[in-house]
């Protein structure tokens, strides 16, 4: 990922927060037969390794896990994003030399992926993923709510993945390269949007 210095995020805590907040990521491997990408929910275990370990699972029918990667795998996480119109820039009135752009946050995590079929490890993964998304619910569902033999059969249809993170590219493009007046204009404009993601970006712009 191309990351200009103005937009480079280096704070590991903030990088991990972007990864945790991304409800659906993309897992990419490069194989002898080309690139393979699977959209999937993944979770980060920050307690493992220096930069954390990523876990997830794919359907056993998905050929991605059978194709040997020829290099590091890539997990892509994105945060709030928003279109930025030049109309919000104070500098538009001054000289008119402005163009549209897009504000966003993104994290690319790289590492050697391990695919596995061990039932106990798969059970741990689906349990942790379920807990992450069910925990906020007033009446949360748990894996143990389903019959044990049913869950065992379901686990037979998936393959787990584990990827220790060896490198992180993190980008937070939030109009940092614009003047204070331009940033204030963008934040004000996005704050009035009907789109929740636009309003989220408005709060992330340094003003």
Which of 101, 107, 100, 83 shows the shortest CA–CA distance to 198? 83
Q: Which two tokens stand for residue 101?
A: 């752009």
d(CA 97, CA 87): 11
The CA R_g of the chain, rounded to the nearest whole Å, is 20
Local confidence pLDDT in tens for the 207 residues of the chain: 999 999 999 999 999 999 999 999 999 999 999 999 999 999 999 999 999 999 999 999 999 999 999 999 999 999 999 999 999 999 988 898 899 999 999 999 999 999 999 999 999 999 999 999 999 999 999 999 999 999 999 999 999 999 999 999 999 999 999 999 999 999 999 999 999 999 999 999 999
- What sign has the CA pseudo-torsion 83, 84, 85, 87? positive
Question: Which tens digits make up the pLDDT trace of 174-206?
Answer: 999 999 999 999 999 999 999 999 999 999 999
Domains annotated for the chain, with CATH where assigned, are 5-117+156-191 (2.30.110.10)
Q: Which two tokens stand for residue 28?
A: 């990419």
Provide the pLDDT for residue 93: 86
Provide the pLDDT for residue 84: 98
Which of 196, 198, 48, 155 shows the shortest CA–CA distance to 109? 48
Provide the pLDDT for residue 91: 93
Number of neighbours of residue 114 by Cβ within 10 angstroms: 12
Provide the pLDDT for residue 92: 86
Give the angle 202-12-9 at the CA atoms, nearest 5°: 50
pTM, rounded to two decimals? 0.94
């Amino acid at each position: 990922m191309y990351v200009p210095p103005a937009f480079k995020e280096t704070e590991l805590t903030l990088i991990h927060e972007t990864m945790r907040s991304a409800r659906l990521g993309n897992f990419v491997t490069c194989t002898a037969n080309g690139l393979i990408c699977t959209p999937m929910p993944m979770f980060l275990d920050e307690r493992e390794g220096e930069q954390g370990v990523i876990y997830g699972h794919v359907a056993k029918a998905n050929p991605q896990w059978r194709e040997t990667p020829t290099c590091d795998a890539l997990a892509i996480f994105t945060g709030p994003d928003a279109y930025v119109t030049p109309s919000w820039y104070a500098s538009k009135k001054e000289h008119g030399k402005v163009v549209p752009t897009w504000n966003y946050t993104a994290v690319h995590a790289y590492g050697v992926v391990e695919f596995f079929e061990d039932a106990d490890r798969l059970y741990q993964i689906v349990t942790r993923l379920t807990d992450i998304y069910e925990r906020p619910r007033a009446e949360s569902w748990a894996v143990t709510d389903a019959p044990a033999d049913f869950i065992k059969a379901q686990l037979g249809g998936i393959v787990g993945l584990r990827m220790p993170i060896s490198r992180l590219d993190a980008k937070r493009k939030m109009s940092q390269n614009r003047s204070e007046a331009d940033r204030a204009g963008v934040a004000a404009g996005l704050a009035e949007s009907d789109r929740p993601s636009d309003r989220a970006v408005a709060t992330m712009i340094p003003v």
